[in-house]
Amino acid sequence: MSSNIQIQRICEFCGNAFTARTTVTKYCSHNCASMAYKARTRSAKIKISNKEMTQAVSIPIARLQAKDFLSIEDACKLLGVSRWTLSRAIKERRLKAVNLGKRIVIKRTEVDRLFS
Protein backbone atom coordinates (compact mmCIF):
# COMPACT_ATOMS: atom_id res chain seq x y z
CA MET A 1 0.00 0.00 0.00
CA SER A 2 1.69 3.17 -1.15
CA SER A 3 1.12 6.65 0.14
CA ASN A 4 0.40 9.59 -2.11
CA ILE A 5 1.02 12.26 0.51
CA GLN A 6 4.27 14.15 0.66
CA ILE A 7 5.29 16.00 3.82
CA GLN A 8 8.35 18.20 4.26
CA ARG A 9 10.34 17.04 7.30
CA ILE A 10 13.71 17.68 8.88
CA CYS A 11 15.91 14.68 9.66
CA GLU A 12 16.37 14.22 13.42
CA PHE A 13 19.94 12.99 12.96
CA CYS A 14 21.57 15.15 10.28
CA GLY A 15 19.13 18.10 10.20
CA ASN A 16 18.62 18.09 6.42
CA ALA A 17 15.19 18.74 4.91
CA PHE A 18 13.56 15.83 3.07
CA THR A 19 10.19 14.75 1.68
CA ALA A 20 8.47 12.07 3.76
CA ARG A 21 5.72 9.80 2.50
CA THR A 22 4.33 8.92 5.93
CA THR A 23 3.52 11.01 8.98
CA VAL A 24 5.85 9.08 11.30
CA THR A 25 9.10 9.26 9.28
CA LYS A 26 11.93 10.71 11.38
CA TYR A 27 15.05 10.25 9.26
CA CYS A 28 15.94 11.15 5.69
CA SER A 29 17.64 7.86 4.84
CA HIS A 30 18.38 4.38 6.06
CA ASN A 31 21.94 5.51 6.79
CA CYS A 32 20.76 8.31 9.14
CA ALA A 33 18.35 5.91 10.86
CA SER A 34 21.17 3.39 11.40
CA MET A 35 23.56 5.99 12.75
CA ALA A 36 20.87 7.39 15.08
CA TYR A 37 20.18 3.87 16.38
CA LYS A 38 23.88 3.29 17.00
CA ALA A 39 24.16 6.63 18.81
CA ARG A 40 21.16 5.75 21.02
CA THR A 41 22.55 2.33 21.94
CA ARG A 42 26.01 3.81 22.56
CA SER A 43 24.63 6.48 24.90
CA ALA A 44 22.52 3.86 26.72
CA LYS A 45 25.62 1.71 27.29
CA ILE A 46 27.57 4.70 28.57
CA LYS A 47 24.73 5.67 30.91
CA ILE A 48 24.58 2.12 32.35
CA SER A 49 28.36 2.04 32.74
CA ASN A 50 28.40 5.39 34.56
CA LYS A 51 25.61 4.25 36.87
CA GLU A 52 27.50 1.05 37.75
CA MET A 53 30.66 3.06 38.36
CA THR A 54 29.01 5.46 40.79
CA GLN A 55 27.44 2.55 42.66
CA ALA A 56 30.78 0.74 42.85
CA VAL A 57 32.46 3.83 44.28
CA SER A 58 29.72 4.68 46.79
CA ILE A 59 29.55 1.20 48.39
CA PRO A 60 33.15 1.15 49.74
CA ILE A 61 32.78 4.69 51.09
CA ALA A 62 29.62 3.70 52.95
CA ARG A 63 31.48 0.75 54.48
CA LEU A 64 34.37 3.00 55.50
CA GLN A 65 32.03 5.43 57.23
CA ALA A 66 30.70 2.58 59.38
CA LYS A 67 34.16 1.51 60.63
CA ASP A 68 35.46 2.73 64.00
CA PHE A 69 39.14 2.16 63.19
CA LEU A 70 40.71 2.89 59.82
CA SER A 71 43.90 1.77 58.16
CA ILE A 72 46.02 4.25 56.22
CA GLU A 73 44.48 3.10 52.91
CA ASP A 74 40.93 3.35 54.27
CA ALA A 75 41.54 6.83 55.66
CA CYS A 76 43.02 7.94 52.33
CA LYS A 77 39.93 6.74 50.45
CA LEU A 78 37.58 8.32 52.98
CA LEU A 79 39.33 11.69 53.01
CA GLY A 80 40.25 11.71 49.33
CA VAL A 81 43.92 12.47 49.98
CA SER A 82 47.13 10.69 49.14
CA ARG A 83 49.03 8.38 51.44
CA TRP A 84 51.82 10.93 51.79
CA THR A 85 49.45 13.70 52.85
CA LEU A 86 48.01 11.47 55.56
CA SER A 87 51.49 10.44 56.73
CA ARG A 88 52.48 14.11 56.91
CA ALA A 89 49.41 14.89 59.05
CA ILE A 90 50.37 12.04 61.41
CA LYS A 91 54.00 13.24 61.65
CA GLU A 92 52.90 16.82 62.36
CA ARG A 93 50.60 15.49 65.11
CA ARG A 94 47.48 16.94 63.47
CA LEU A 95 46.10 13.40 63.36
CA LYS A 96 46.61 10.82 66.10
CA ALA A 97 47.49 7.31 65.01
CA VAL A 98 48.48 4.11 66.81
CA ASN A 99 51.05 1.57 65.64
CA LEU A 100 49.92 -2.04 65.99
CA GLY A 101 53.05 -3.89 64.99
CA LYS A 102 53.75 -2.74 61.45
CA ARG A 103 50.19 -1.56 60.89
CA ILE A 104 49.06 2.02 61.57
CA VAL A 105 45.49 2.43 62.81
CA ILE A 106 43.58 5.71 62.95
CA LYS A 107 40.51 6.20 65.10
CA ARG A 108 37.43 7.35 63.22
CA THR A 109 36.74 10.07 65.80
CA GLU A 110 40.21 11.53 65.14
CA VAL A 111 39.38 11.89 61.45
CA ASP A 112 36.09 13.60 62.35
CA ARG A 113 37.90 15.86 64.85
CA LEU A 114 40.32 16.93 62.12
CA PHE A 115 37.49 18.67 60.26
CA SER A 116 35.61 20.12 63.21
Chunked mean pLDDT (size 10), the chain, 116 residues: 85 96 95 98 97 83 84 88 92 91 90 83
Q: Please give the pLDDT value at position 55.
A: 84
**Alpha-carbon distances of 46 from 1, 36, 49, 53, rounded to whole Å:** 40, 15, 5, 10
Q: Please give the pLDDT value at position 1.
A: 55
CA-based diameter of the chain, in Å?
Answer: 86
Q: Please give the pLDDT value at position 114.
A: 83
Element (H, E) at 68: none
The C-alpha angle 103, 105, 108, rounded to 5 degrees, equals: 165
Q: Which of 80, 75, 78, 77 is nearest to 98 (CA)?
A: 75
88 backbone dihedrals φ, ψ, rounded to 5°: -65, -40
